[in-house]
Amino acid sequence: MDSRQRFFAPFKKVVFIFRVVMGVLLAVAILTGLVYLALPNGPRDPMTFDDPWNKPRPAVQAHNYMVVTGTTFATQTAEDVLDRGGNAFDAAVAALLMLNVTHGEAASFPGIAPLVLYDAETHSVHSYVGAGTAPAAATIERFTAKGYTNVPDLNIWAQLIPASLDVIVALLKQYGTMSFSELAAPAIQMARQGFPVSKIMSLNMNLSMLQRMGFAYLLPYNTQVYLYGQWWRPLYYKDRLKLPDLANTLQALSDAEQAALKSGGSGADGLQAVRDYFYKGPIAEDILAMHQAQGGLFTAADLANYSGYWEEPLHGSYGDYTFYTNGPWNQGIVVPMTLQILEGIDLKSMGQNSAQYIHTVNQAIELAMADREAYVADPKFVKVPVDVLLSKSYAAERRKLMKDKAFGPLPPPGNIPTAFSVPLEGGGQGSPRSPGGEGEGQPVSQLSSNFLSSAPFGKDTTHLAIIDRWGNSISMTPSDFPKSPMVPGTGLTLGDRMTQFYLNPNNVDALQPGKRPRVTPLAIIVFKGGKFFMSFGTPGDDMQTQALVQVFLNMDVFGMDIQQAIDAPRFRSMSMPATFAPHAVYPGTLWLESSLYNRTVLDLQKRGYHVVEYPDWDNLFGAVGAAIQSNGTLIGGSDPREETWAAGK
């Protein structure tokens, strides 16, 4: 072998090895493709479905009752209950359970269900604490010892103690006229026979092939429930989805009630039997078995001792309107705070959704959000200065901070000396941190699932609003997503709401055992002139308060009917830290639906905003539902951004 051959010999070996490797990879790719083609593909069982998503609709008028919920199925279910003589509170339970079935990827059983109700007999408004607590073992030290800088998603440690079954029992005990088993029957039947996948559900579950593989690996039972275990096969729009395990669980709860009634127990005894079966009986055992097997935090005491409670709602006013909302364990207080900052400003002269109007309303939202970040949290653990935050004098002081240019980072919170006040994350009050790079500060185990935690599934909530023939009304905003392990064999989703805590002990919303995170879902009831006027609400995480403020102002300031007010394009501030971990924040950023973007972008940019365009009627901007009682007429409005649907009689 001459010198030239000796020189090229190693390169020939490299080329040979490369060709062999590439040949093997090609063979594997071909084999994988053939296997994929041989697997079942395409829709499993397509159904016909008149999906109202993104379709115009008029306001609905009625005189007997009005129902607005997040799916047509839940709306029809509530109507059926009202037609059978049930009241708004019975109808709300039936609709909630139907939403847990037909919109379960966004609002699943037994997640959270904040509510505010109006009792027409006593002319009083009441709130129920419908969000669970952190388990006793959930300490910041336990999380940080594992290397976490935020509560991890897609993880059993993200689960709060489940709340909605407690909400259902408390509501029916206090105000219901029908049994749990009667009200659960339609949801059980729907879960068994199946229902068509809506457009929003298909978008929420629109995972890539790689994400579906990760879904199957990290959350195998969830994959069985939502993809029938076929990770290679997406969830198709209008395909039939059945939830037999959830149907069996709801049936078991119904059977527990019926057994108590047949043994001579009262209606209250039957409801207590339902509750005990869940929090102390066989369902609790299933939940605890999962937590023990997967290294979770729940104990039998966490479940057995859990309870929500009735509370006096918070309230603030704007002109002739009074807004009643939940306590500061959620963000509902931001709505009246924002409106009180805007009170007295001539918004009408600015023109509906002009650049000046958007800038003005947005600044009020950001001022209220700065106070949310500094002061609002579970009142069992934090002394929240509610009286100050909702006072007109405080709103006037905050109003003075409004200026011609964008704030950029959130403005500083108000100075309330006796309150618990925290700096905004990373750099002092009024200087929230910029979002870090992908996975910054996270352990390797968390990084490995980032590709899935950023996937679209389960990024939503839903809402219902009902007025019955007696004038009772309820606003409820159920939520929770299959982004942590579901309880095998039960169809139960325990959600990921612990990710709405912070692991910074100096944060007002810091994780503590037994504490509730400041959850985003909220419920609101509105009075006008001292009389009940409207129940309304929306999904949309940190957009919820912003959407409700904009819809209300469209009605009150610009004279739109409720459907016009809902249909109108919206804007969304991204300047506040996101409530969900990793709590990213984008100072000075405004998202605008396309109709607003086209006519205001240049003006808003001159004011210092970074403006991002989204399509009109995009559900990133909420999906408001509203039921109104006005001059003897009931009016319903529903948002085409989702399948939200209003109906009445």
Q: Kindly state whether residue 3 falls inside one of the protein's structural domains.
A: no
> Per the confidence metrics, is the pTM higher than 0.85?
yes
The CATH number linked to 622 is 3.60.20.40
The number of domains in the chain is 1
Q: Kindly state whether residue 169 falls inside one of the protein's structural domains.
A: yes
Q: How far apart are CA 290 and CA 505, in angstroms?
A: 29
Asked whether the predicted pLDDT for residue 402 surpasses 90, the reply is: yes
The CA-CA-CA angle for residues 288, 294, 300, to 5°, reads: 20
Residue 4 has a pLDDT of: 56
Amino acid sitting at position 175: Y
Query: Residues in the chain, how many?
Result: 649
Q: How far apart are CA 68 and CA 76, in angstroms?
A: 10
Give the domain extent around 143. 60-312+435-648
- Mean pLDDT of all residues belonging to the chain: 91
Q: What is the DSSP string of 358-427?
A: HHHHHHHHHHHHHHHHHH-S-TTTS---HHHHT-HHHHHHHHTT--SS--SSPPPPP--TTS---PPTTT
Residue 42 has a pLDDT of: 86
- Per-residue pLDDT tens over the stretch 442-464: 332 333 345 555 555 556 799 99
Q: Kindly state whether residue 495 falls inside one of the protein's structural domains.
A: yes
Cα 139 from chain centroid (whole Å):
24
Q: Kindly state whether residue 492 falls inside one of the protein's structural domains.
A: yes
Asked whether the predicted pLDDT for residue 260 surpasses 90, the reply is: yes
The strand pairing partners of 537, in sequence order, are 625
Residue of 168, 187, 193 whose CA lies nearest to 80: 187
Q: Kindly state whether residue 381 falls inside one of the protein's structural domains.
A: no
* Residue 451, token pair as written in the block: 């590709």
Contacts of residue 616, defined as CB under 8 A and 6 or more positions apart, other chains included, come to: 569, 593, 594, 595
Q: What is the mean pLDDT of residues 403-421?
A: 88
Cα dihedral sign, 135-141-146-148: positive
Contacts of residue 254, defined as CB under 8 A and 6 or more positions apart, other chains included, come to: 180, 181, 184, 185, 188, 274
Asked whether the predicted pLDDT for residue 149 surpasses 80, the reply is: yes
- Per-residue pLDDT tens over the stretch 78-104: 999 999 999 999 999 999 999 999 999
Q: Kindly state whether residue 395 falls inside one of the protein's structural domains.
A: no
Residue of 187, 199, 198, 200 whose CA lies nearest to 244: 187
Residue 456 has a pLDDT of: 58
Asked whether the predicted pLDDT for residue 494 surpasses 60, the reply is: yes
Q: Kindly state whether residue 217 falls inside one of the protein's structural domains.
A: yes
Q: Kindly state whether residue 541 falls inside one of the protein's structural domains.
A: yes
- C-beta separation of 360 from 329 below 8 A: no
CB neighbourhood size of 596 (10 A): 24
